[in-house]
Structure 1
C-alpha cells in the first residue's frame, strides 16, 4: 500500500478522519474539518457537495489521485468518495505526501494546510505554557461559576447532595 494511503488508515484508527458524506458535512459545519479529500472518480454531485462543505467549514478541498476503492480500502470500507481530516497535523502530512508526488498540482494547498497546522500547534504550546505557569503559581484551575454557584446555593438551602454538607431526605414510602 502507498504511504499516503497508509497515513489515511492511521488517521482512521486514531479517529481523526470522518468518512462519508454525512459525517464530512457535520465535521465541516462544526468547523472541525481541516481538509476534505475527494476520490479521483467521485461523482460531480459529490464534488459539488464537498465544495459547499469546504466553504461552510472554511477548509480546503482536494481531489486526490486515488480511486474510491483505494480510499475505501485505506479506511476499511469497500469504497469511499469523500473523507475529511479533523487533525491539522495529519492533514498537513497527507498534503505533504501528495505534494511530493505532484508539487505543481498540490503544492499550494499543502503550504496553506501546513501553515494552518503550524499556527494551531503554536497555540497549543502557548496554552500548555500558560497552564504550567498557573500550576507553578499555585493558582487553582478555573471552574465555571454557574456550577459552583448552583452547588453553593443548594448547600445554603440545605438541599445539597449527600456528602456535600446538605441534608438528605428519606425515600418516599420508608418510615424511619
Structure 2
C-alpha cells in the first residue's frame, strides 16, 4: 500500500515497509515446546502481549510463511492555513501455503475471540485496539482472509469514517491479491 493511493493530495508523507520470511520449524520450538498463552484482548494485536520478535514467532507458529508489514501516514486535502490532521494505517499481510491455514491458526483465533464478525462479510472481523500513537485512544482494527492471506489493518489517529475504512480495506485486498 502506498501513501498516495490512500491520500492522493497529501503534502505530508511517512511510510515504512518490511518483509519477513518465517522459519516455521524454528518458530515451533521457540517457546521450549510450551503452548501460547490465551489471547488477552486488552493487549496490542495479535493479542498475546509479546515483543515484536516474539510476535513473529507467533506468526510462524501459526504456520505463516511470510509476514509483510507497512505503515503509511498522510492526510486528506486541507485549505491553506488549516491544520493538517494526519491519519495512519498499519497493515500486516501474513501469507500461508493454503487457505485452510489462513483461516485456522492462533492469530485468527485471537481476532475471533477479541473481535466481532463483520455483517454480511465472511472471514472479516473488526475490533478495537489501543492506539500506538495517542494515549487512551481506541482505534479500529480489521482482519480479513483473502485466499491464502490474512490481512490485518489498524486505523490510527482520529478522523476515520466508514467510507475511509472501506477504501483502505478494498485497496489492501486488491494489493494482497497481487502477492
| Structure with greater helix share of residues | 1
| Structure with greater strand share of residues | 2
TM-score range normalised by the length of the shorter chain: under 0.3
Scaled by the length of structure 2, what TM-score is found? Answer: 0.24
Scaled by the length of structure 1, what TM-score is found? Answer: 0.24
Flag the structure with larger Rg.
Answer: 1
